[in-house]
Amino acid sequence: MEIINAKYEILDDLDGKAILKKIERIARVCYKSEYKITDNSAKRMVKNLITNKHEAMLEHFSFSVKFIVDRGISHEIVRHRLASFAQESTRYCNYKNKDGEITVIEPYYLKNTVDYNNWLEACTSAERSYLALIDNGRTPQEARSVLPNSLKTEIIMTANLREWRHFFKLRAVGTTGKPHPQMTEVTIPLLNEVKNKIPIVFDDIAINEK
Closest CA to 20 of 31, 30, 11, 28: 28
C-alpha to C-alpha distance for 103 and 194, rounded to whole angstroms: 28
C-alpha to C-alpha distance for 108 and 117, rounded to whole angstroms: 13
DSSP string, 126-188: HHHHHHHHHHTT--HHHHGGG--TTBEEEEEEEEEHHHHHHHHIIIII-BTBPPPHHHHHHHH
pLDDT of amino acid 95? 96
pLDDT of amino acid 57? 98
Apex 54 CA angle, 64 and 183, nearest 5:
35
| 22 neighbors 46 (Cβ within 8 angstroms) | no
Reported as half-sphere exposure (CB side, CA atoms, 13 A), residue 145 has a value of: 5
pLDDT of amino acid 152? 98
pLDDT tens sequence for the chain (210 residues): 999 999 999 999 999 999 999 999 999 999 999 999 999 999 999 999 999 999 999 999 999 999 999 999 999 999 999 999 999 999 999 999 889 999 999 999 999 999 999 999 999 999 999 999 999 999 999 999 999 999 999 999 999 999 999 999 999 998 777 999 999 999 999 999 999 999 999 999 998 655
pLDDT of amino acid 26? 98
Closest CA to 73 of 160, 148, 164: 148
| 179 neighbors 172 (Cβ within 8 angstroms) | yes
pLDDT of amino acid 209? 55
DSSP 88: -
Which domains does the chain carry? 7-86+152-197 (3.30.1360.170), 93-146 (no CATH)
